[in-house]
Amino acid sequence: MTQKEGKTLFGPVEHPWFAPLWRRILLVAFCFGWTGVEYYFGNTTWVYIVGAIALFAAYAYLYAYKGPDDPSRETRPRMEDDEG
């Protein structure tokens, strides 16, 4: 998975909505909480699936996340509004 234009293999992770740290922590906590729910009910297949999603979310949103003000973040230039 390479970072190109602020995206990963699964889509954009550097959306401005995720700029506040508390939103990213809440998302990751929800994913791990849901993994616990699936484990509690004995759904081992879903434990692995949701656990993998939770691990990816933890990596993407807590470790590798580059905020909107990060100078090393690569983004595409905005397109001009067409008048016509």
- Measure the CA–CA gap between 30 and 5, rounded to whole angstroms: 27
pLDDT for 65 equals 83
26: pLDDT strictly greater than 90 = yes
The one-letter code for the residue type at 62 is L
- How far from 58 is each of 21, 24, 49, CA to CA, in Å? 12, 8, 14
pLDDT in tens, 27-69: 999 999 999 999 999 999 999 999 999 999 999 899 988 776 7
Q: Which residue has the tokens 């849901």?
A: 34
pLDDT in tens, 69-80: 766 666 566 566
- How far from 43 is each of 3, 35, 36, 81, CA to CA, in Å? 33, 10, 10, 50
CB contact set of 62 (below 8 Å; sequence gap of 6+)? 24, 25, 28
